[in-house]
Amino acid sequence: MANINLSTGQTTQPNNPAQSANKYGLISSISILVIALGAVGALLLWKNDIEKKEVAAKTAYDEKYKELTSGKNKEVVDLQNRIFLAEDLVEQSKSPVAFNVLRAVEDSLVAGVYIDSYSQDKTAGSLKLSCVTDSYDSVARQVLSFKNSDVFSDVTVGKMDLSSEGKINFLLDLKVK
């Protein structure tokens, strides 16, 4: 039989479950897509914010480091490095004679001269020091300081060269009295 519409007004179609499911599925998919894009955008903004904070923190750290290692503070850092070196060497040798020699080396070190390596020949009574400094004047003052010491009888300067950082590396051979 044929479908004849006898109504004079607007008629509504009966709800088709397939059409309503498609309609709500499309809305749900678009909503999920918008939420996912919003989350990705938020994560990108958060990442950029973290990177900016990281750069700011690194800059602040570098400024504070320069402040702490300049001027008089440089001498404090130098002293602390020497203390750490002396503690390590005392632990290695555990000898009162070696400790007195180390104390004499520490007392004779000139500001700005750093010990890079240290070796002691107990049978020959000598020390070999590899030192690092910024100027030849510091090298000369260091040699003079060891020569004026009551603990060392002979000071010999060995190989001297310039490092890639512009520092002067030099070897000293010290004879213990």
Distance CA 104, CA 152 (A): 9
Distance CA 149, CA 175 (A): 11
With a cut of 70, say whether residue 175 has pLDDT above it: yes
Distance CA 80, CA 86 (A): 10
Axis crossing angle, helix 72-93 with helix 96-108, rounded to the nearest 10: 160
CATH fold, domain 80-176, is Gyrase A; domain 2 (3.30.1360)
With a cut of 60, say whether residue 30 has pLDDT above it: yes
Output the pLDDT for position 3: 72
Question: Which tops the pLDDT comparison, 121 or 50?
Answer: 50
Compute the mean pLDDT over every residue in the chain, rounded to the nearest whole number.
Answer: 85
Map out the domains of the chain as residue ranges.
31-68, 80-176
- The per-residue pLDDT for range 89-139, each reduced to its tens digit, is 767 666 656 677 888 898 999 999 999 998 888 788 888 999 999 999 999
Q: At residue 119, what is the residue type? A: S
